[in-house]
């Protein structure tokens, strides 16, 4: 593994062998910060984003991301799942892909990484977020992918705690040769189990939230929710 000393996550764009007319995609856009960095870099003639905007990500965040990146810029934000977007693009379409989806499941047990690697041309860059011991399934999936493919794994050293969703190191590989394989079945199964556990937890939280809302009313519930978000953000930054 090679450390990219002094690199923040947006600096993985420097691994590209082209400085203009690139086509890129981000899987898992959220507030749109990394997509904006891609567009602002001037390297891309077209950038796509894919995010379903469900659960704690909603239509409000979808619209915020569109505004943040810029409605009139060369950017298309597709509101769908990664699997639904997959067959829209031919293999080898992209110069760059950034995967920032489901860290708790290790990017679906590596399935997202292995599948979407086919969509990147030889010489392009496959990268992603959350390469950290807080997300061991991501580290396992990335390590296995780089080993199976025979790509050199690079990891950034710098983070941006004050920028939302930018507080973990990123990983990247240059696709130095063709590679097409499925993620190991046991790794995918582990990722699915982790995703199911999170889904059960969220369902329980939603039921509890619904009961609280019914008791205290919508306005007070929203104030409590914003207070709790601010409390969590303050605890994290501290």
What would the pLDDT profile of 48-105 be if each residue is shown by its tens digit? Answer: 999 998 766 678 888 888 888 988 899 999 999 999 999 999 999 999 999 999 888 9
**Average pLDDT estimate for 182-201:** 93
In this prediction, residue 186 carries a pLDDT of: 97
Is the pLDDT at 236 greater than 60? The verdict is no
The neighbour count for residue 3, using CB atoms within 10 Å, is: 11
Strands 154-156 and 22-27: unpaired
Q: Is residue 86 within 8 Å of residue 120, measured between CB atoms?
A: no
What would the pLDDT profile of 122-151 be if each residue is shown by its tens digit? Answer: 999 999 999 999 999 999 999 999 999 999
Which CATH topology does 2-183 take? Rossmann fold (3.40.50)
Q: How confident is the model at residue 221 (pLDDT cuts 50, 70, 90)?
A: confident
% pLDDT > 70, the chain: 95
């Amino acid at each position: 593994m090679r450390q990219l000393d002094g690199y923040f996550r947006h600096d993985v764009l420097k691994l590209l062998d082209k400085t203009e007319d690139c086509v890129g995609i981000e899987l898992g856009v959220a507030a749109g910060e990394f997509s904006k960095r891609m567009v602002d870099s001037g390297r891309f003639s077209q950038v796509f984003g894919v995010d379903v905007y469900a659960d704690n990500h909603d239509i409000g965040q979808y619209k915020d991301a569109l505004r943040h990146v810029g409605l009139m810029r060369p950017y298309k934000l597709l509101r769908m799942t990664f699997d639904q977007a997959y067959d829209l693009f031919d293999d080898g379409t992209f110069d760059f892909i950034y995967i920032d989806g489901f860290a708790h499941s290790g990017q679906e047990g590596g399935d997202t990484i292995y599948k979407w690697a086919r969509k990147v041309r030889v010489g392009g860059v496959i990268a992603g977020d959350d390469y950290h011991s807080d997300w061991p399934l991501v580290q396992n999936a990335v390590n296995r992918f780089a080993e199976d493919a025979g790509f050199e794994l690079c990891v950034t050293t710098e983070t941006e705690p004050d920028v939302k969703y930018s507080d973990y190191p990123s990983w990247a590989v240059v696709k130095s040769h063709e590679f097409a394989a499925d993620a190991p079945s046991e790794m995918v199964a582990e990722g699915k189990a982790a995703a199911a556990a999170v889904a059960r937890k969220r369902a329980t939280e939603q039921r509890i939230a619904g009961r609280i809302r019914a008791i205290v009313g919508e306005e007070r519930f929203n104030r409590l929710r914003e207070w709790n978000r601010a409390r969590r953000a303050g605890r994290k930054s501290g």
